Chain A
Amino acid sequence: MMDKYIIKAGALVKAFGDKKNGELTYALNGANLGVYEGEILAIMGPSGSGKSTLLYALTGIIGINSGRIEIDGQDILKIKDSELTALRRTKFGFVFQFNKLVPELTALDNVALPLLLNGVKRKHAYEEAENWLERVGMKDFANKSATVLSGGQQQRVAIARALVIKPKIVFADEPTGALDAMNSENVMRLFVTIAKQTGTTVVLVTHEPSIAAYADREVIVRDGKVLSNV
């Protein structure tokens, strides 16, 4: 399974700042990366190295100055914004450090939301969301508001939300950054198990080696470059 690239990115450059004043900061400076289908890849690196910028560049959510990004055979820099939005809606899932659940919604609503966005009927969307909450051990909290859940519980809901549409790729930015060691371990174990069961590719940004250890492969980002494929 892991012989085909699902993500191919080459010579990525992303600079911030004012070009006129010569105060440019390069978040990405010629980064290259390949991600195999079905693998769990950890992107590591010190704070400010450009790893999160790389992650968001891969999703097309931030533009880059130069380079090329191909996802599942599609050059995402050449497609329209609406197509990119549709791509994110149907093929990508996201998990963040601060879970970013929609606070007005219940746990169940949060998980059903991506399905509703994809036009799935309400009844089916909520049944599917309930199944996923059961898989992540959150069925009893289905009707609780997102704001009253603990950090670990919120992250479980976020994982269910990311996986409910059966995405090809899940992008995770420091998914356990806000959790204690025990919760981090529980969440990562659950995340990796479900990803493996469903064959989902996971691109994971972290600076913690213990979290990166769950990945099939690690790359190091420093000064905007991908230094090594471990």
Chain B
Amino acid sequence: MYSRLLLKFIKSNKARFSLITLAVSVAIVCVLLILSGINAVLLKQERDNWAIFQASTLDEANYTRLAEVWENYDVNVAKGTRPGDCSVTPKGIQVFLIRGQGDSTGFPWVKTPEKGEFYLSERLSEIWESYKRGEELGPRFDDIFSRLGERYLGVLPKEMTPSPDTLMVVRYYSDEDEVRLIKAKKDMDAWNTGEVDFCSKEAHLLTLESDPGNDKYTNPQFDTNLAQELHPRMNIFMTLFELIAIIGLLFPICLLISISTGLGAKQKEQRFAAMRLIGATKGQISRLMGIETAVSTVIGIILGYLAFNILRTPVAQNFTLNGTHFYQDDLNYSPWQLALSIVTTVALAIIVNARSFSKVNISPLGVVSGAKVNTNPRFLGLFVLLAGVGITAYLLASTQYNTERSVEESSATLNIFFVGFILTLLGLLLCGSWVIYAVSRRLSSRANSALGMLSFKRWEFMPRVVFRSCAGVIVCMYIGSFVYTLAGVYNAFAEQQGNLLDINNPFKEIVSIGTVFLVITVIIATIGLSVSTANGLLERKESFATLHLSGVSLRQLRALVLIESVVPMVFSVLISAALGYFMANTMLIASANSDDAMGGIIWRLDTNLIIATLGCALLSALAVLLVSVSLRKIVDPLSSRKE
């Protein structure tokens, strides 16, 4: 019985079924992308760790690893008068110098290079091969043997190469190298005291054992402590990035599943009421509904899994972090992660479905109970929002940009700030429907036009439904604009001031990654808005037919739908984007310390953020307009009468 009914249901509810399937498949793709992305970043970091940190802890004597040592000193040395003026040097080849005997547990993948021996990373090896074939490569690779050694040992294994793009040489650490590095370090010290007008990159990373009395400098070592301090902001950004990925993506997806499940609820109620009339028990209906959701969820999972595998290659090929790509194999998930994603998605769909089913009103007489009592939303959430904004505003008012602040003081302020940040986000979600209710109540009592009155009354009557269609965008725009603004300021600072120790500017990429995720979340939220609008049209079929009969033209009805759906969306986008912007700048001002000399570019408005905000508003308007095309069919009095 169930299979036949199920087929009938799917046939008669193609749109709803497709949307649930789509929502689930998008959810699976996003969850797998997030998990595999995090896995890929961790794997890459692991290999980076080998390259930077592990060498200094090698158990064998006489091993020295120097990261970021440049082959060509002419490229590496930049002119400048103060440390801040030392411009960013172009990306080059990392050369790791190793001196050792026999095999090392810290260097287990290949034989330790001896005098005159060297390894190349895969990418560098390819370039070298093409160089040997006489292709155009530039002067950097001229006479490479005299600089690297006489004996090429082969390609470094993947475990030692952070990414497929890495240009890396591992070679023997000679006595000449030691002399050269000591000179570089001394030059750097001299430059710092203003004695010379150039600086060299690697010298920053070196420590020397010195005996100033005899002017003797020995044993240049890679300073891991200094290297770890290179990107303190990068860690904050990785955390924020994960936050935007998880909250910003999953929240609109949950909403989409929830909204899709509720699509055509009225028709569903009528269908179930008819079944109750012919003797079906509530349990049978519940099972049928469960099977219906399970089928769409399973199909969604399969499609999502397939889509992820199709997307994996282009993502690995096009997605970069710190200027380098991922190995395609790195973009992967473990079996338990896959199982967890599937279980979570299925559980989510079942919970959302069960929740919507609990709201379905089925009378044993087969009559859907008429009056639904709408309770007014509570204003308590407003206090949470005010607390969040209040904390942040207090921080802004009580502190000023101060680069003399200690790191400890800065961390304490950051903790307070994040409390304000989270409270503001929670407050936005908790008080949104009350704000819509309160504002529309005031406006509807003053509306002079019929369309205005209808829109305001709709918001006043169903503030939760209206807010739910915007909640996804609120979360992604709030977090998105926060990260965007922060990354934008850091990016501008890095470009403006240059960075002595930075090869790639990571914030530029954070901005790009943020853009991709913002676009995805906005698209998901827009689909949610479209489904919610479509649902609203179906639920109000009779009202629209009546209005059309009463002389409201189709164009006016479309305008009504547009006003009702897009205006709250646009306000949500503007308010959340503005709050995110405000939060980012407050954080910069209240937590600045000696590492952040960027006071001049705070409150800078990123053009991309403005484009994203306006784009989101335009996209939502377009989506609603497309949905409202169906109005012609909806207002047909004969079709409405048949419902």
Contacts and interface: CB of A to CB of B under 8 A. Distances in A.
A100 B543 contact: yes
A87 B553 CA distance: 11
B546 A102 contact: yes
B447 to A, nearest CB: 7
A224 interface: no
A147 B372 CA distance: 7
A117 interface: yes
Contacts of A81: 553-554
Interface string A101-141: 11111000100011011100110000000000000000000
A117 B447 contact: no
A90 B550 CA distance: 9
A104 B462 contact: yes
A148 B461 CA distance: 13
20 contacts: A89-B550, A89-B551, A94-B546, A94-B550, A96-B546, A100-B545, A101-B546, A102-B454, A102-B547, A104-B457, A104-B458, A104-B460, A104-B461, A105-B457, A109-B453, A113-B450, A113-B453, A113-B550, A117-B550, A122-B447
Given A98-B542, A117-B551, A117-B552, 15 more contacts: A56-B637, A56-B638, A59-B549, A61-B548, A62-B637, A82-B553, A85-B551, A87-B551, A89-B552, A94-B549, A102-B543, A104-B462, A105-B453, A114-B550, A145-B461
B549 A114 contact: no
A102 B455 CA distance: 12
A145 B460 CA distance: 12
Nearest to B446: A122
Interface string B283-314: 00000000000000000000000000000000
B330 to A, nearest CB: 53
A86 interface: yes
Interface of A: 52-53, 56, 59, 61-62, 81-82, 85-90, 92, 94, 96, 98, 100-105, 109, 113-114, 116-118, 121-122, 145, 147-148, 173
Nearest to B371: A147
B249 to A, nearest CB: 33
A103 B544 CA distance: 11
A118 B372 CA distance: 31
Given A117-B552, A122-B447, A147 B370 contact: yes
Q: Which of A92, A116, A145 has the most CB of B within 10 A?
A: A116
A85 B553 contact: yes
Nearest to A14: B638
A184 B554 CA distance: 33
B549 A109 contact: no
Contacts of B550: 88-89, 94, 113-114, 117
A82 B449 CA distance: 19
Nearest to B460: A104
Nearest to A94: B549
B557 to A, nearest CB: 10
Interface of B: 370-372, 447-450, 453-454, 457-458, 460-462, 540, 542-543, 545-554, 636-638, 641
A61 B637 contact: yes
B636 A62 contact: yes
Q: Which of A94, A117, A173 has the most CB of B within 10 A?
A: A117
A121 B542 CA distance: 26
A90 B551 contact: yes
Contacts of A100: 542-543, 545-546
Interface of B is mostly: helix
B450 A116 contact: yes
A90 B543 CA distance: 19
B447 A103 contact: no
Interface of A is mostly: helix
A59 B637 CA distance: 11
Contacts of B641: 52, 173
B39 to A, nearest CB: 49
A94 to B, nearest CB: 5
B446 to A, nearest CB: 8
Contacts of A87: 551
Contacts of A102: 454, 457, 543, 546-547
B464 to A, nearest CB: 13
Contacts of A96: 546
A104 B461 CA distance: 5
Shortest beta-carbon contacts, A-B, top 5: A89-B551, A104-B461, A116-B450, A100-B546, A88-B551
A137 to B, nearest CB: 21
A182 B106 CA distance: 95
A62 B554 CA distance: 14
Contacts of A173: 641
Contacts of A105: 453-454, 457
A116 B453 CA distance: 9
A59 B635 CA distance: 14
Contacts of A52: 638, 641
A122 B448 contact: yes
Contacts of A59: 549
B568 to A, nearest CB: 15
B460 A61 contact: no
B141 to A, nearest CB: 72
Contacts of B545: 100
Q: Which of B458, B545, B637 has the most CB of A within 10 A?
A: B637
A88 to B, nearest CB: 4
Contact of A88 (B460, B543, B549): B549
A171 B183 CA distance: 100
Nearest to A145: B461
A173 to B, nearest CB: 8
A145 B370 CA distance: 13
Contacts of B637: 56, 61-62
Contacts of B546: 94, 96, 100-102
A84 to B, nearest CB: 9
Contacts of A104: 454, 457-458, 460-462, 543
Contacts of A101: 546
A55 to B, nearest CB: 9
Contacts of B457: 102, 104-105, 109
A121 B449 CA distance: 8
B265 to A, nearest CB: 14
A114 B540 CA distance: 18
A105 B447 CA distance: 13
A114 B448 contact: no
B552 A85 contact: yes
Contacts of B540: 103
Q: Which of B372, B447, B450 has the most CB of A within 10 A?
A: B450
